[in-house]
Amino acid sequence: MKKIYFISIAILASLVACTTQDDVYKAYVVEGGHIYPAKAVNVQTVAGYQRVSIKWEKPKDPSVINSKLFWNSRRDSVEVAYDAEGKASYTVTGLEDRSYTFYIVNYDKHGNKSLDVEITANPYGANWLISHSERNVSGRYYEDGDSTVLVFTKATYEMVSTRVAYMNTSGKVVEYPEPLLPGQDTIVLKDAMKGKKIYFKSTFKPEGGTDEVENTSWSASSQAILHKLDVDKWTVTATTGQVQGNFAPDRIFDGLVDNGAGRYISSNATGLREIFPKILSIDTHAEAGKEPTIISLDFYQHPNDGSYRFIRDVEIYMGNTAYDPDSKNGADDYEGFILKRTFSTSYASQSVTLPRNNKGRYLALVFLNSFNRTTYFIDLWELVPFGYIEGDSDIPYPDF
């Protein structure tokens, strides 16, 4: 009897428990069962510039008739129909530089909807573009007197190509026919006007991105195309007593690099030859705003015999105050120091590249010593400056 009693209590408890579960579950059960159409399949995204392209396919469920795409925390949505091949796609535009989550939901003809298919994508935009550096021009020079060789810095991260604009010899701003590709560092301009700056503008695309994006504006080169400066009006004054005979110092600008009659030679007079520094003070006679920017100086000495190449240590100064070649303290009173260079007797010509943009009316060459320790000569056959005139270097902004 006691056994029957316990069994009855167990059956009653079980019935009560089942009733309670049914009551809880009824809120989630639809009469006849809830219908879920099949979810979208093969969902893919491709990020673009301020946009994301999404594509997906219809599942093997004949009840599915269309789909809907949601984004922006479901505040935005669009209905997307499947085509005859069961494919769907949509491009969401006007997006910001941030991560977006997209939801795809399928529907049947009764309005029943599938479970979400969720996918995340990261479009790129203005902030992404701003973070990318332009390449720049690292070298500019004339070759054979005609063609301009432009040497660029290496392509930067995610760069696709770079367009180049310049002024031709007819005074028209034109574009170089082919864009500069990442593997290219040099282009040759056949008709560029010397002394003028150039413009460049690059295009970028991230790995896996769909859109190539060009910078919104052209960038001007920091320097103009280099050329041999016109020195016809330049004059030179040497330290008193440091001119030998008729070898006047302004002959360093006479255009003769291998003519012994056209050179500056310092004094060999006893009592004067050992005086250092020996200074050449140069006046370009440039107007205000038209001062030359000098990028390099080519020094020419004896073309055949290294024992006659006397220049050893030289300091170079440049500024807008005249340099007195007879300064009591020598170069210690000078402003505008650029560099000190030690020459070699192995080369007839040596090029000195100045370390930064140097602009000014006046230039000073300060010879501190000589390789010849008997007569202490300084023998300079020719000085050839390369640069441009900053005040004349700008060109109109490209309109293409």
For position 380, which CATH number holds? Answer: 2.60.120.260
Is the same domain home to 262 and 351?
yes
Whether the per-residue pLDDT at 32 is higher than 70: the answer is: no
Domain match, 47 and 100 both: yes
Q: Does 219 reside within a domain?
A: yes
**pLDDT at residue 169 in the model:** 94
| Alpha carbon distance 334, 390 (integer Å) | 24
- Do 244 and 386 fall into the same domain? yes
CATH code for the domain of 55: 2.60.40.10
**Confidence grade of residue 4 (pLDDT, cut at 50, 70, 90):** very low
pLDDT at 86 over 70: yes
Residue 137 pairs in a beta bridge with: 152
Q: Would residue 284 count as lying in a domain?
A: yes
pLDDT in tens, 315-353: 999 999 999 999 988 899 999 999 999 999 999 999 999
Give the integer Cα–Cα distance in Å for 381 and 150. Answer: 30
30 belongs to a structural domain: no
pLDDT category of residue 144 using cuts at 50, 70 and 90: low
pLDDT of residue 278: 97
Which DSSP letter does residue 303 get? S
pLDDT, position 20? 47
Mean pLDDT for all residues in the chain: 90
CA distance 307 to 15: 119
CA proximity to 115, closest of 159, 154, 59, 169: 59
CA distance 325 to 382: 19
Name the domain boundary from 95, 126, 157.
Answer: 126
Query: Cα separation of 350 and 297, whole Å?
Result: 8
Report d(CA 166, CA 31) in Å as an integer: 77
What pLDDT band is residue 2 in, cutting at 50, 70 and 90? very low
Contact criterion met (CB below 8 Å) for 311 and 330: no
Average pLDDT over residues 376-385: 95
If you average pLDDT over residues 238-252, what whole number do you get?
94
Residue 25 lies in a domain: no
C-alpha–C-alpha distance, residues 385 and 227, integer Å: 8
- Which among 166, 230, 221 is positioned nearest to 193, based on CA atoms? 166
- pLDDT tier at 140 (50, 70, 90 boundaries)? low
Region of 384 please: left (phi>0), alpha (psi -120 to 50) or beta.
beta
Tell me the residue ranges of DSSP E strands in 273-312. 278-283, 292-300
Model pTM score: 0.77
Closest among 224, 197, 381, 194 to 298, alpha carbons compared? 381
- CB contact at 8 A, 289 and 277: no
* 149, 63: one domain: no
Residue 15 lies inside a defined structural domain of this protein: no
Cα gap 375→268, rounded to integer Å: 6
Pairwise CA distance, residues 89 & 69, whole Å: 10
Please check whether residues 267 and 339 belong to one and the same domain: yes
The pLDDT score that the predictor gives to residue 177 is 96
Same domain, 59 and 181: no
d(CA 247, CA 293): 28
**Structural domain ending residue among the three candidates 126, 159, 189:** 126
Q: How many folded domains does the chain comprise?
A: 3
Query: What is the secondary structure of 2-38 as a DSSP string?
Result: HHHHHHHHHHHHHHHHHHHHHHHHGGG--TT----PP
Same domain, 340 and 309: yes
Q: Residue 121's CB: how many other CB atoms inside 10 A?
A: 20
Whole domain around residue 277: which residue ranges?
235-392
Same domain for 80 and 161, yes or no, is no
Q: What is the C-alpha to C-alpha distance for residues 272 and 242, in angstroms, rounded to an integer?
A: 7
Asked if residue 374 and residue 270 are part of one domain, the reply reads: yes
Neighbour-count burial for 35-65, b at 16+ CB within 10 Å, e otherwise? eebbbbeebebbbbbbbbbbbbbbbeeebbe
Q: What is the pLDDT of residue 14?
A: 43
Using an 8 Å Cβ cutoff, are 93 and 49 in contact?
no
In this structure, are 159 and 55 located in the same domain?
A: no
The answer to whether residues 246 and 312 belong to one domain is: yes
Asked if residue 215 is part of any domain, the answer here is: yes
* Same domain as 243, residue 383: yes
- Only one residue has tokens 């399949």, namely 41
Give domain status of residue 23, yes or no. no
193 has which bridge partners? Answer: none
**Residue 287 maps to a domain:** yes
Section 151-174 average pLDDT: 96
Report how far residue 317's alpha carbon sits from residue 331's, in angstroms, rounded to the nearest whole number: 9
Place of tokens 């930067």: 156
The confidence score (pLDDT) of residue 259 equals 74
Q: What is the pLDDT of residues 90-101, one digit of tens each?
A: 999 999 999 999
**Residue that finishes a domain, picked among 126, 145, 174:** 126
